[in-house]
Amino acid sequence: MLVTQIDGLSYLKFDPSSKDQFTQISEIIAQHLLEPYSIYVYWYFLNKWPQYCFIVKDELVDQDKIIGVIISKCEPHNNVRIRGYIGMLVIDPTYRNRKIASNLVNLSIEKMIEYDNIDEIMLETEVINLGALKLYESLGFMRTKRLYRYYLNTHDAFRLILPILDKSGCRLAFLSPLSV
C-alpha cells in the first residue's frame, strides 16, 4: 500500500502476503549489511511488526524492484518506556545520497509515534559506519553507549537514541558525537 511519494519514488507499506517482497527484502539486506541474519530474524520482525516495515520503489523504472527498506519494531523497555527500534536499513547503492534513508527513518518515527506513542527510538550501528552515523545524527539521534565487539566481525557498535518524549531525554550522559 502506497504511503507517500517523494521525488518520484513510491514509499510503501510492506505487504505481509507477498512472498516476493519478503524475498527481495532479505536479499537486499543480506547484500548490503555486514551482519548475516537468518531467515528467522526476518520472520520475527516482518510477522510481528509488519506495520513498521517500509519499502521504496522507483515504479517508473521497475514496478516490482525494491530499492530501499527499513525494518523496525516497538516494545516496552524495562516497564518504564515504549521503545522503538530500527533493526535494518538499506538503500540500493545506485539510489544513495538522495535522502531516501532519511525519508524512511522519518516515516518510521512518524508511524511509531502514531501507533505506539513511543518515548524513544534506539538502534545500533558500527563505529566505522560513518555514513550511517552521519545520517542518524543529522536526524537528532545521540550516542549513548559503545558496545565492544558487538558484531560477528568483532567490530564495536555505537548505540544511538532519539528521545521523543521529555522523560527519555533525562539521562545521566550522552557520548560526544566526536567519540571514536
Ligand X SMILES: CC(C)(COP(=O)(O)OP(=O)(O)OC[C@H]1O[C@@H](n2cnc3c(N)ncnc32)[C@H](O)[C@@H]1OP(=O)(O)O)[C@@H](O)C(=O)NCCC(=O)NCCS
**Which residues of this chain interact with ligand X, rule CB under 6 A?**
32-33, 89-91, 96-102, 125, 129-132, 134-135, 138
Could you tell me the three cell numbers for 75? 516494545
Our CB check for ligand X shows the closer of 47 and 106 to be: 106
Minimum gap (Å) between residue 70 Cβ and ligand X: 9
Q: Read out DSSP for 103-168?
A: HHHHHHHHHHHHHH--SEEEEEEETT-HHHHHHHHHTT-EEEEEETT-STT---EEEEEEE-SHHH
Looking at beta carbons, which residue is closest to ligand X? 131
95 vs 174, beta carbon nearer ligand X:
95
Q: How far is the CB of 139 from ligand X (least distance, A)?
A: 8
Give min distance, CB of 34 to ligand X, in A: 8
| Cβ nearer to ligand X, comparing 131 with 167 | 131
Q: Which residue has the cell 514509499?
A: 11
Toward ligand X, which CB reaches closer, 59 or 137? 137
Q: How far is the CB of 99 from ligand X (least distance, A)?
A: 4
Residues 6+ apart with CB under 8 A from 171: 144
